[in-house]
Structures are given as structure tokens and as C-alpha cells.
Amino acid sequence: MREVAIIGAGTTLFGELWERSFRDLAVEAGLRAIEDAGISGDEIQALYGGNMSAGRFIEQEHIGALIADYAGLARLHIPATRAEAACASGALAMHLAVLSIASGWYDLVIAAGIEKMTDVGSDSAEELLASSVDRKWEVIYGATLPSLFAMMARLHMTRYNTTAEQMAQVAVKNHANAVHNPCAQYRREISLESVLASPLVADPLRVLDCSSIADGASAVVVCAAENARQYTDSPIYVKASVQASDTISLHDRRDLITMDATVAAARKAYQQASLQPSQIDLAEVHDSYTIAELIAIEDLDFVKKGEGGKATEAGETAIGGRIPVNPSGGLKACGHPLGATGIRQIVEITQQLRGEAGKRQVPGAEVALTHNIGGTGGTAIVHIFTR
């Protein structure tokens, strides 16, 4: 298997982008990545696009061909494939891109992610989000994505004495990081008091414990590592790319507050990269809800099970802490356009490892991890990168 590298990365602004279409966003992100890599379109051999539900959000299917067409690549007749794994669709696109290069089938491809969510009302968007969990055994009985994560939060609080304040600290930290991220949806700080006073969504989760729907797209250019320095002096190397699955329904899990798919993917990723969790300098993890970040840092073995809240409260996951988590602002402050998030995380890591993250830069960052899940953890994808 060949080694793989990232040579270009680009992203759009995330947010309520009324004036830009799905096609506009796909083209913008792709062009930024291509320009960053310094390549021409003629060098691209394949395209993998992560997207959860364009068919319902914008009534458009056949997304692979659409992106290739509007990116000006249709004349090349390259294969363009849509990847779908709910909220982990972007990371899945990257996983497929890595496999295609590592296998030797292609030498240079694009992995992208995109979602246009604000063209439907908030009620419709919430109903579409529920399609990431088991409709027959969860949604039909009234469960929503927030309520399922609220069950996890309540059990975590009961079993480990995690507090609402500790969960709220996740939101406070991530908003503070996003102030310095030009692509983030919410570039403003929030206080602990404002999180705790925000309206309940599903007890104990409040509005400011939850990420928001958004529009946005991100893309990276991936090539064989042996060729990377032909394009850039600062390639970012993919040391591990692992996908794992679990039951789609929460009630069938071995443990409601351990995402076994994350545990399995992380364990194999560390093995692939020949690294220990303690050697990771920073991580972008899936914080669709504040409790999700606490569970993620436990399942990724950054802290012991049950100590995610305490570690966050102690500042261990802040920039400058022992293991900075979500220096971009995470899903919470960047916004969460479902198909784009997994690639946006990788764009952030690329900038961090290049030393290009400005005021949110993690000093001395050399090894980084991304973690993206679908639904409540039915899919988990972990990547590890180095300079």
C-alpha cells in the first residue's frame, strides 16, 4: 500500500448562505483546494463527494456527476462518486480517496464534502436529521437526534457525575476558538451563564449545547506521497484512515455512552499510524452536541472513561492545554453542514500542521487526528495526519 498525502485544501464560509447555491459552494471549495495545490484540472483522476441528503434538502440526486460538471471536470470524464454516511459523509469521501491512492488505482484525486441545508425550514431540517438514526425503532416513537444525545448526556451525568456546567464548557471553549476562524458560522464568544440559561431542547441539552444547521463545502486534493513534493513544500501525510460501524439504533448498543465504532476505529488508526493517543498534538472531533465531544475524547482514549467533563473543565482540551480539541470551533461554532463537516475538519488540520492557523494555531503541532460520526455513532471514521 502506498503512502498518501494532502497537497491542497480549501473551504467556503459556513452559515446561512442564502445567496449561494449548492453548485456555487461545490465549485468554490473545489477551486480553492485546486489553487492551493497549484494543480490544473487535467491532473485530477477521480472525485469523491460527501453528501448526506441533497435529494431531500434541494431535491437533487446524482450529486457526483453534478459536482464534476459544475467544477468543469465533465469534459475529462473522470469518475465522480457520492459518498453517504449521514453526518460522516465527508470523512467517508476522504476514506475512499485515501483507499484509491493507497491501492495504486489513482495518483491524484479530490475529496470534497457539501450540504445545503437552509433551503428548507428548521422543522424539515430536523426531520431530515432524524433519518440518520433508526426510523422504524426510534423516530417512529418520537425520538429526535437531540433527544437521543440528551439520553446519553443524562446517563453520563448519572454514572460519572458529569455536570451541565462541564458540558457547557465545551461550547464556551469552541466558540472562543471560532472567533479566529474566518470560515466559522459563529465567530463570537459565549459565556457559561448564557449556555446554562439558553432554552431547553431536550433535557439536559440546551440550545447552546447544540450545533446548528448550515450551508457549506470543503475540499482537499490528495495524491501519492511519493509525488507530493512535486506540488508543495509542505505536504500533510495521511498516516491512518479507518472506518467502523455499530448498530444504527442507540437502544441496541452495548453501552449507551460509549461509541464502540469510535473505539474500534481509533484503536485501529493508532495501530496503522504506529502511534499512541498521548502522541496526538490536537484533534478535531464530532461535537454536534456538547456531550458528544466529552464522549469522543473518552472513546479516543485522550482521557479515561467518565473524565471528559473534568478534563474539559480543567482546560486540558483548550488551545495551550494537554490535548487541544476543536481549535477550529468544532461543529458547535463552525456550523454543521452534514456532508461537509468531515472534510472541513481535515482542512483545519491541514492548516494547523502547516502552521497557517493564525491566532487559533496550536503551537508545535506535528500529529493530528480527526473524528467524524454518523447519527448517534452508527458510523465512525478516524484519520491521523502528520507533517
Q: Does 363 sit behind a cis peptide bond, omega within 30 degrees of 0 on the bond before it?
A: no
Q: Residue 127: pLDDT band by 50, 70, 90 thresholds? A: confident
Residue 126 has a pLDDT of 79
Residue 122 has a pLDDT of 74
Query: How high does pLDDT run on average in the chain?
Result: 96
**Domains of the chain and any CATH numbers:** 4-121+214-236 (3.40.47.10), 122-212+239-386 (3.40.47.10)
**Mean pLDDT value across residues 257-281:** 98
336 annotated active-site: yes
Has residue 125 got a pLDDT over 90?
A: no
275-313 pLDDT per residue, tens: 999 999 999 999 999 999 999 999 999 999 999 999 999
Has residue 94 got a pLDDT over 80?
A: yes
Q: In a 10 Å sphere around its CB, with 0-12 CB exposed, 13-18 middle and 19+ buried, how is residue 131 labelled?
A: middle
Residue closest to 240 by CA, chosen among 346, 340, 319: 346
Tell me the whole-structure pTM to 2 decimals.
0.97
Q: Residue 334: pLDDT band by 50, 70, 90 thresholds? A: very high
Strand (E) or helix (H) holding 176: helix 164-178
251 annotated active-site: no
Q: Residue 128: pLDDT band by 50, 70, 90 thresholds? A: confident
Q: Annotated catalytic residue: which of 95, 175, 286, 336?
A: 336
Strand (E) or helix (H) holding 372: strand 367-374
Query: What is the CB-side half-sphere exposure of residue 285 using CA atoms within 13 A?
Result: 29
Residue closest to 90 by CA, chosen among 108, 61, 115, 62: 115
Residue 103 has a pLDDT of 98
**Mean pLDDT value across residues 320-331:** 98
Q: Residue 385: pLDDT band by 50, 70, 90 thresholds? A: very high
179-188 pLDDT per residue, tens: 999 999 999 9
Has residue 130 got a pLDDT over 90?
A: no
Nearest-angstrom CA–CA distance, 328 and 357: 9
Residue closest to 210 by CA, chosen among 176, 171, 174, 180: 171
